Amino acid sequence: MFLKLFSRSKPPSDQELVEQYQQTGDVDCVGELFQRYTEMVYLVCLKYLKQEEESKDATMQIFENLLVSLRKHEVANFKSWLHSTARNHCLMLLRSRRNRLEAPLDESNPAQLETAAWALTITEQEPEQEQMLQVLEAGLVTLGPEQRICLELFFLQQQSYKEIAERTGFELAKVKSHIQNGKRNLMIYMKKNYEQ
């Protein structure tokens, strides 16, 4: 079906593949995007995670998530959107790793100690990234509760405007407004408090 839809000499653009997937649910469209951008996503993951196997796993998770997230989001520039999605996925993994570090360790569990030591090494290798995450978390706290919850649901949990409206009880226009204003306020906070 996929090849018949695009039976012409010029291969389909990213945007055509995204739209075709959104209209038909044909996973071959996402498969084609996977072929085009696997290396880029892997390199983004490797930049942040520093471990080859973890980066390969993260790359697969990101493309698996596309099957859901492409149905929810309007994507104007797929390559740029995918790059941001990959970066955010890695930052969430690093944040989760840091949270595990802060949890009390079971010293009788060698695997937990080894994981904690490895995560600490990675965190120490990325002081700027760690600083950015800390400032970002602090910036989220400064936002009003409506903006904060909408941003977290939209960016971290990749929920659509409609899903956020259903979950929070906010009107759809309010959800969009909270996200737009929250992004602006967060950017202002980041520019004031994050030193490159």
In a domain, 195, yes or no: yes
Rounded Cα distance, 151 and 40, in Å: 26
Predicted pLDDT of residue 174? 92
Predicted pLDDT of residue 121? 44
Same domain assignment for residues 138 and 190: yes
In this structure, are residues 59 and 83 in contact, taking their beta carbons and an 8 Å threshold? no
Domain count across the chain:
2
Predicted pLDDT of residue 1? 47
Running DSSP on this structure, what letter comes out for residue 13? P
In this structure, are residues 96 and 128 in contact, taking their beta carbons and an 8 Å threshold? no
In this structure, are residues 170 and 178 in contact, taking their beta carbons and an 8 Å threshold? yes
Predicted pLDDT of residue 130? 56
Same domain assignment for residues 17 and 104: yes
Predicted pLDDT of residue 122? 42
Predicted pLDDT of residue 196? 45
In a domain, 166, yes or no: yes
Task: Determine the structural domain holding residue 90 and report its residue range.
Answer: 11-108
Same domain assignment for residues 103 and 137: no
| Helical pair 127-142 and 172-193, crossing angle rounded to 10 deg | 130
Q: What angle do CA 140, 142, 146 make, to 5 degrees?
A: 70
Give Cβ neighbours of residue 115 (< 8 Å, ≥ 6 apart). Answer: 100
Same domain assignment for residues 141 and 67: no
The encoded tokens of residue 53 equal 């196997």
3-state SS, residue 144: coil
Predicted pLDDT of residue 9? 66
Running DSSP on this structure, what letter comes out for residue 6? T
Predicted pLDDT of residue 159? 77
Q: Pick out the chain residues at pLDDT < 70.
A: 1-9, 98-136, 156-157, 194-196
Which residue from 20, 17, 22 is spatially nearest to 70, judged by alpha carbons?
22
pTM for the structure as a whole: 0.51
Rounded Cα distance, 55 and 38, in Å: 11
